[in-house]
A = this chain, B = another copy of it.
């Protein structure tokens, strides 16, 4: 796979659809300055819009439209991209997503089914809908077009002058980190950060292959993939990346710091990468310049809901 070419093509497809998100440098979040990419300001509050636009723009969408299963952010992004590109969308959302994310999807006008249980249950129903109705499924993380779309984020960040040696990225199913690894190809160090209670990548790297893990905790509705994607696993294993975990308390503390220091209101998953730095799960070398990807802002409850 020529990932650089795939990501360049994706960047061209999503230009004018996905938001170019701002960057800033903060001296208030950690003992040294930290570069931030404010990707939670993306349409629908997370990076997922990139993969969604890339997928829908790259393929012939059937008359039956799009179907997706999602803990919330992916479903919202697919629903939004479908509306903007003029396709029907049916989204299966696990109850765990919560009313704030469910409301976000409802406002796009997509057909919405709330499924009792967790992500895997919604995914089962989406697969059935795909088979029965002929709708096209957009996978949340383990598909080439999704990964290439998420890879545009790191491409964009580098074009914005990213100077850091090391980038910390939260991991759920692995679409975002796969895109970053696919773009960077070892040019910078990437640190994967997972909640201790949703550690699909750490467990896979330990086991030597993707394995199922239980998922729970404050970031589970965004990072709670039961199994890491094969694409993410292969890239992470090949590049030998660092993978650390953080407890829920550290995630909530990082969430609070982002809000109090900079009025950046993010969901717990969006603060997960910063937590690794603040809590000491990842300790940079002296002089190592670090960057943190802020990936999701769909906090619950909705503060203006």
Question: What residues make up the interface of A, taking CB atoms closer than 8 Å to B?
Answer: 16, 19-28, 38, 40-41, 43, 45, 107, 255-256, 259-266, 297-299, 303-304
Contact = CB atoms under 8 A, between A and B. Distances in A.
Contact of A304 (B23, B28, B265): B265
Contacts of A16: 27
Contact of A28 (B25, B38, B43, B265): B43
A67 to B, nearest CB: 24
B262 A263 contact: no
- Count this chain's copies in the assembly: 2
A41 B259 contact: no
A210 to B, nearest CB: 31
Contact of A24 (B20, B26, B107): B20
A304 B259 contact: yes
A13 to B, nearest CB: 16
5 closest Cβ contacts across the A-B interface?
A22-B22, A263-B297, A303-B303, A22-B24, A265-B265
Contact of A263 (B24, B40, B107, B255): B40
A24 B19 contact: yes
Contacts of A260: 107, 304
A264 B304 contact: no
Nearest to A38: B22
- Which of A107, A266, A299 has the most B CB atoms < 10 Å from its CB? A299
Given A255-B304, A303-B299, A303-B303, A261 B43 contact: yes
A21 B38 CA distance: 12
A265 B43 CA distance: 14
Contacts of A19: 24, 26-28, 262
A263 B298 contact: yes
Given A299-B303, A303-B299, A304-B265, A24 B43 contact: no
